[in-house]
Structure 1
Amino acid sequence: MRINLTSVFVDDQDKALRFYTEMLGFVKKEEVPLGEHRWLTVVSPEQPEGTELVLEPDAHPAVKPYKTALVADGIPAASFAVDNVHAEYERLHRLGVQFTKEPLATGPVTIAVLDDTCGNLIQLAQYHRRVASTAPSPGTR
């Protein structure tokens, strides 16, 4: 089993597409008209056949209160891995991206949190080392 799609709810698909491609550097993968909205996905240019991020319209009545609560509590809607949080922070900051949390080392990861301009907080994460699994090895008890 693997993750194929994941979504972020956005208040404007055109604005979201510009932000996620022009600012964050993702590339558009799918765009299928569906009435008022579109099936719109982006992917990492490093993994064009990898997990797709759906820029999902936030039209459902439950979504806006959910997004508002997450932002009010400082909870990111998604987390994206980067090789160097400090470099990405500087690059994006120069482009005018607003951050709610500057780079902060928290154990095995350094994070920063940005505002995607579409109603979400997005975390950037640089993993310094992988945390070893605490599950027993097969055959051990």
Structure 2
Amino acid sequence: MTVSLSHVHVFVDDPDAALEFYRDTLGLEVRNEVENDGFRWITLVTSDQPEIEIVLSQPQAGRSAEDGDLMAALLAKGELPGLLFRTDDLDGTFERVRAAGNAEILQEPADQFWGVRDAAFRDPSGNMVRISQA
């Protein structure tokens, strides 16, 4: 029996801003986009791992108003789990993110004591995104 990762959900408050960051700035590819009941789900993949889908969705989509509001509040505070990416060109990726101006830079590329070189950002919704050198 094998178990593998297929999807990762990321809550976003503005799907268009998130799409601009993840597709246009980081270079992910849109696999699917679904509209339902006034909300959108956008599925993206990386070219190196197309079997792992990143699903951007709004906190209120598919849940009660109360639960959606709680998730939105956590998102606004930057308290939801973030994403960790790898790249073969951290400096180039960092400069691309900086030039796009659609993410808050938290940490410029730096060598970490745990053995990786990485950078950190907040996406347009406030999610932590770390990118390390492959």
Normalising by structure 1, report the TM-score: 0.76
Q: Does 1:94 align with 2:96?
A: no
CA contact (8 A) 2:121 2:128 kept: yes
Query: Residues 24-78 of structure 1: CA distance to partner in whole angstroms, max 9, x if unpaired?
Result: 1111101122111123111112333x2000001022122133224445xxx8611
The aligned residue for residue 116 of structure 2 is 109
Q: Secondary structure at 2:125's aligned position in 1? A: coil
Alpha carbons 1:111, 1:123 under 8 Å: kept = yes
Unmatched segments (≥5 aa) in structure 2: 61-67
For 2:13 and 2:83, the matched residues in 1 are separated by 16
Aligned to 1:86, the other structure's residue is in SS state helix
What RMSD in Å do the two structures reach over aligned CA positions? 1.9
Structure 1 CA distance, aligned partners of 2:98 and 2:6? 30
For residues 60-99 of structure 1, the aligned pairs below 5 Å read: 60-70=68-78, 77-96=82-101, 97-99=103-105
Change in CA separation of 1:105 and 1:76 when aligned onto 2, cut-off 3 Å: farther
Aligned counterparts of 1:70 and 1:6: Cα–Cα separation in 2: 17
Q: How many residues of Structure 1 are paired with residues of Structure 2 in the alignment?
A: 123
Q: Secondary structure at the match of 1:17?
A: helix
Gaps of 5+ in 1: 128-141
Partner of 1:16: 18
The DSSP-based 3-state class of the residue aligned with 1:94 is helix
Mapped to 2, the partners of 1:101 and 1:33 lie a distance apart of: 35
Corresponding residue for residue 55 of structure 2:
54
Q: Distance in 2 between matches of 1:28 and 1:22?
A: 10
Partner residue in 1 for 2:64: none
Against the structure 1 CA distance between its residues 111 and 4, is the aligned structure 2 distance closer, same or farther, given a 3 Å change threshold?
Answer: same
TM superposition outliers: structure 1 runs of 4+ over 6 Å: none
TM-score (norm 2): 0.80
